[in-house]
C-alpha cells in the first residue's frame, strides 16, 4: 500500500463502490381507480320506445334497441337474473317472431319462462302466464319438424316448472304424440294467452 492510500473506517463507501451499485427499483405504478358503476337503464321507458318503433313498422330499429337494452341492463346488473331481464328477453322473442324467426322467438320465451320460474316460483301467476304465452306462441309454428323440435324443449321446460301432470305438459305431450299434429293454433282455453303482449309485461311484474 502506498503512502497516498487513505484508510477509511469500516462501513464508509467510496465513490467507486457506489458507481457499481444496482439502480434503485422503480416505484410501482399507482392502482387504477375502479370503473364507475353503469347506470341502470329505465326498462319500462326503453320498452315503450321499442314498442313505438314496432308500431311504426321500424322493426330493425326496434330489434337494435332491444339488443342495446339487453346489453346495458346486463352490464348494470352484472348479469343478475331479475323479472325485468325476463321482460327484456321476452320482448326480444316477440320481435324475433315478427321477423319470422320462430325458432329464436320460442327460444327467448322459454328462456324468460325459466327465469320467471326460478325467480318467482312455479306457482306464481306470472310463471303460469309465461307458460301459456310460450305454449300459444309454439302453436303458431307451421313447420311440423320445427314444431316437434321446439315442442320437445317446451315439454321438458313445462315438466320442470309445473310438473308432468300440469295442463300444459299433458297438452304438449298429446300434440307431440299425435301421428299428424294439427299445427293450426288449436290452443285450448285453459292455455290461451296472448304472446303478443310482451310490451305490457312490466305493468304486471313484481318490483
Segments in 144-201 forming alpha helices (H): 144-162, 167-177
pTM over cut 0.85: no
- For the chain, how long is the longest CA-to-CA vector? 117
Query: d(Cα 194, Cα 188) in Å, to the nearest integer?
Result: 13
> Residue 56: phi, psi to the nearest 5?
-80, -5
- Closest C-alpha among 197, 195, 193 to residue 102: 195
Q: What gap in Å lies between CA 150 and CA 35, rounded to an integer?
A: 42
Q: What are phi and psi of 107, to 5 degrees?
A: -60, -45
* Residue 11 zone, left/alpha/beta (φ > 0; ψ -120 to 50; rest): left
| Lowest-confidence region among 50-54, 94-98, 108-112, 198-202 | 198-202
Q: In 3D, which of 189, 119, 114 has the Cα closest to residue 159?
A: 114
Portion of the chain with pLDDT greater than 70, in percent: 68
User: What is the structure's pLDDT at 191?
Assistant: 47
**pLDDT tens, 138-154?**
988 888 889 999 999 99
Instruction: Tell me the pLDDT tens digit for each residue of 168-198.
Output: 999 999 889 887 666 555 544 444 455 455 5
Q: What angle do CA 186, 148, 172 make, to 5 degrees?
A: 50
- 9-56 pLDDT per residue, tens: 555 555 555 555 566 666 666 666 665 567 899 999 999 999 999 989
Amino acid at each position: 500500500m502506498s503512502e497516498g492510500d487513505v484508510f477509511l473506517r469500516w462501513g464508509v463507501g467510496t465513490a467507486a463502490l457506489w458507481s457499481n451499485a444496482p439502480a434503485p427499483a422503480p416505484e410501482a405504478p399507482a392502482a387504477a381507480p375502479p370503473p364507475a358503476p353503469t347506470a341502470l337503464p329505465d326498462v319500462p321507458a326503453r320498452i315503450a320506445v321499442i314498442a313505438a318503433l314496432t308500431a311504426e313498422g321500424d322493426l330493425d330499429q326496434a330489434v337494435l334497441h332491444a339488443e342495446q337494452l339487453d346489453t346495458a341492463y346486463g352490464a348494470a346488473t352484472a348479469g343478475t337474473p331479475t323479472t325485468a331481464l325476463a321482460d327484456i328477453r321476452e320482448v326480444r322473442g316477440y320481435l324475433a317472431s315478427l321477423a319470422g324467426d320462430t325458432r329464436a322467438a320460442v327460444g327467448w320465451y322459454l328462456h324468460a319462462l325459466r327465469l320467471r320460474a326460478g325467480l318467482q316460483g312455479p306457482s306464481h301467476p306470472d310463471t303460469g302466464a309465461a307458460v301459456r304465452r310460450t305454449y300459444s306462441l309454439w302453436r303458431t309454428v307451421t313447420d311440423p319438424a320445427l314444431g316437434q323440435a321446439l315442442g320437445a324443449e317446451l315439454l321438458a321446460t313445462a315438466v320442470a316448472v309445473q310438473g308432468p301432470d300440469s295442463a300444459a305438459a299433458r297438452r304438449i305431450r298429446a300434440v307431440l304424440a299425435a301421428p299428424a299434429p294439427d299445427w293450426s293454433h288449436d290452443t285450448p282455453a285453459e292455455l290461451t294467452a296472448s304472446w303478443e303482449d310482451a310490451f305490457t309485461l312490466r305493468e304486471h311484474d313484481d318490483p
